Amino acid sequence: MQTMTNEEVKRAADFFTKEIAKLADGKSLRLMEVCGTHTVAIFKAGIRQLLPENIELVSGPGCPVCVTPNEYLDTAIAYSRKSDVIITTFGDMLKVPGSSSSLAIEKAQGADIRIVYSSLEALEIAENHPDKKVIFLAVGFETTAPTAAAAILMADEAKLTNFYVLSAHKLVPPALRALLTAGDSHVDGFLLPGHVSAIIGLEPYEFLSKEYNIPAVIAGFEPLDILQSVYILLQQIRYKAAKLENQYSRIVPERGNLAACNVLSQVYQEADAVWRGIGEIPKSGLVIRKKYQAFDARLNIPIVVEETKEAKGCQCGNVLRGLLLPTDCLLFGKACRPEHPIGSCMVSVEGTCAAWYKYGAGRWQV
């Protein structure tokens, strides 16, 4: 697709837009994207404006920062208050509000919290500070989990005794199953995440069409990728032929990335996990296997965590399940803005509320 000329891209976009309009057929349909990168790409390319009014695009639980529950934040904050601990984290996590504080507030008050761009950087900090316990906040889906696993293997190899991981890794397919089982999201088709799929391949999504008769397409991130993916979904819906298709086959191999999956399963095993706004989902998270438990922060560094409280009025849970749009939240754009987020969905640039605020504010007249 990168090799197409601008004129070819325009012609293809026109074709998909017209075909989508023909296939839309007047019936109201809800298509859910499950990836923050898609959420932003849809806004940036103005995809909604190209679709017929009866096709609604809603965001699902596709932003890792958004789905991380308060209890995890509160635990990280409690660790950051220990004088012998260095917290290492991706920058997105800093501003996420916990029950009564945030890592940004703790950092401003003197906690040693360092932004890193990979788990390997956290490992380096541990090597350079043998007198400190260095905790890496491992948040993310199948895309980032393999690098956290690799860091643990390297720490084991190097016999590091001061490197720990606080794992909140989540798995996408069990969350989709939970949404469909709950039945209140009324999704007619899924735009599946390209990056996650590049790791796990196609097989983990097979249940969508086989068990729930839901159309699904693994989608790329260019505007044309998204338009073509919507077109593929509408074809499946129109002809009542729900199946799993791979629009992003130039990046997503059918069996995924076997090397990454091997590293992942060497270090982690599936476990039940709590998702913000959705609750506990069976086998939707990753915990460190017994062999590497010396690197598990929760098991090795005792901590007392305050009682978890949810932000009053925040609708993140309903937004993440596609039940409400960010603009349905009474706090959106008023008390809750990117510079002063009340809920996690307003923090990350790929958070649903943040994307709606940044790219949709004019259109939605906030």
Cα–Cα dist 178/202, whole Å: 18
Residue 362: CB minimum distance to ligand SF4, A: 17
Q: Does 257 bind ligand SF4 (CB under 6 A)?
A: no
Instruction: Closer to ligand SF4 by CB, 148 or 319: give it.
Output: 319
E strands in the chain: 29-33, 55-59, 85-89, 113-115, 133-140, 163-169, 189-193, 216-219, 244-246, 268-275, 279-288
Cβ at position 185, least distance to ligand SF4 in Å: 16
- State yes or no: residue 336 binds ligand SF4 (CB under 6 A): yes
State the minimum distance, in angstroms, from the CB of residue 347 to ligand SF4. Answer: 8
HEC readout, 71-96: HHHHHHHHHHCCCCEEEEECHHHCCC
Q: What is residue 250's DSSP assignment?
A: T
- Nearest-approach distance from CB 192 to ligand SF4, in angstroms: 24
- Applying CB under 6 A, among 151, 244, 346, 355 the residue interacting with ligand SF4 is 346
Binding residue for ligand SF4 (CB under 6 A) from 89, 162, 284, 315? 315
- Choose between 93 and 336: whose C-beta lies nearer to ligand SF4: 336
Which residue, among 357, 350, 347, 351, has the nearest Cα to 327 in the 3D structure? 357
Q: Closest approach of Cβ 149 to ligand SF4, in Å?
A: 30
Taking residue 109's Cβ as centre, other Cβ atoms within 10 Å add up to 10
The span of 12-20, 237-245, 296-304, 326-334 binding ligand SF4 (CB under 6 A) equals: 326-334
- Tell which one of 149, 224, 288, 314 touches ligand SF4 (CB under 6 A): 314
Kindly tell me the burial class for residue 349, based on how many C-beta atoms sit within 10 Å of its own C-beta (0-12, 13-18, 19 or more).
middle
Give exposure, 188-201, as e/b (b: 16+ Cβ within 10 Å). bbbbbbbbbbbbbb
CB 64 within 8 A of CB 170: yes
- 275 touches ligand SF4 by CB under 6 A: no
Closest-approach residue to ligand SF4 (CB): 343
Residue 110 DSSP code: T
CA 343 to chain centre: 15
Q: What does DSSP assign to residue 222?
A: S
CB of 62 to ligand SF4, least distance (A): 15
**Residue 34 makes contact with ligand SF4 by CB under 6 A:** no
Which residue among 155, 226, 329, 355 contacts ligand SF4 (CB under 6 A)? 329
- Which one among 190, 343, 348, 360 touches ligand SF4, defined by CB under 6 A? 343
With tokens 């601990």, the residue in question is 85
Q: Is 195 helix (H, G, I), strand (E, B) or coil?
A: helix
Question: Is residue 342 near ligand SF4 by the rule CB under 6 A?
Answer: yes
Contact with ligand SF4 (CB under 6 A) among 42, 55, 286, 331? 331
Q: Shortest Cβ distance from residue 327 to ligand SF4 (Å)?
A: 8
Q: How many CB atoms lie within 10 A of CB 281?
A: 22
Q: Which lies closer to ligand SF4 via its Cβ, residue 264 or residue 331?
A: 331
Q: In this chain, which of 145, 319, 325, 355 binds ligand SF4, going by CB under 6 A? A: 319
Contact call for residue 278 and ligand SF4 (CB under 6 A): no
353 part of the interface to ligand SF4, by CB under 6 A? yes
**Least distance (Å) from ligand SF4 to the CB of residue 15?**
36
Given candidates 326, 348, 350, 355, which one binds ligand SF4 under the rule CB under 6 A? Answer: 326
Distance CA 256, CA 158 (A): 29
Torsion of CA 268, 270, 272, 273, to 10 degrees: 50
List contacts with ligand SF4 (CB under 6 A). Answer: 314-316, 319, 326, 329, 331-332, 336, 342-343, 345-346, 353
